[in-house]
Amino acid sequence: MNLPVIRHVSCCQLPTAWGPYILHGYLSTTGEEGYCLETGQPETVDAPLVRVHSECLTGESLHSLRCDCGEQLAAALTLMSQEQIGLLIYLRQEGRGIGLLNKIRAYALQDQGLDTVEANLQLGLPADDRDYGMAAAILLDRGLNSIRLLTNNPEKYQALTLCGIHIAERIPLRPAVRPENRAYLKTKAERMGHRYTPD
Catalytically active residues, by annotation: 128, 130
Counts of helices then strands in the chain (DSSP H, E) = 7, 7
Phi/psi for 29 (5° steps) reads -65, -15
Q: How many CA atoms lie within 13 A of 76 on its CB side?
A: 29
Query: How far apart are the C-alpha atoms of 145 and 171, rounded to whole Å?
Result: 17
Alpha-carbon gap, residue 145 to 165, rounded angstroms:
5
- The DSSP secondary-structure symbol of 195 reads -
> Which of these, 87, 97, 89, lies nearest to 34 by C-alpha position?
89
Q: Are strands 166-171 and 146-150 parallel, antiparallel or unpaired?
A: parallel
Give the single-character DSSP code of 43: G
Q: Specify burial of residue 77 (Cβ count, 10 A radius: 0-12, 13-18, 19+).
A: buried
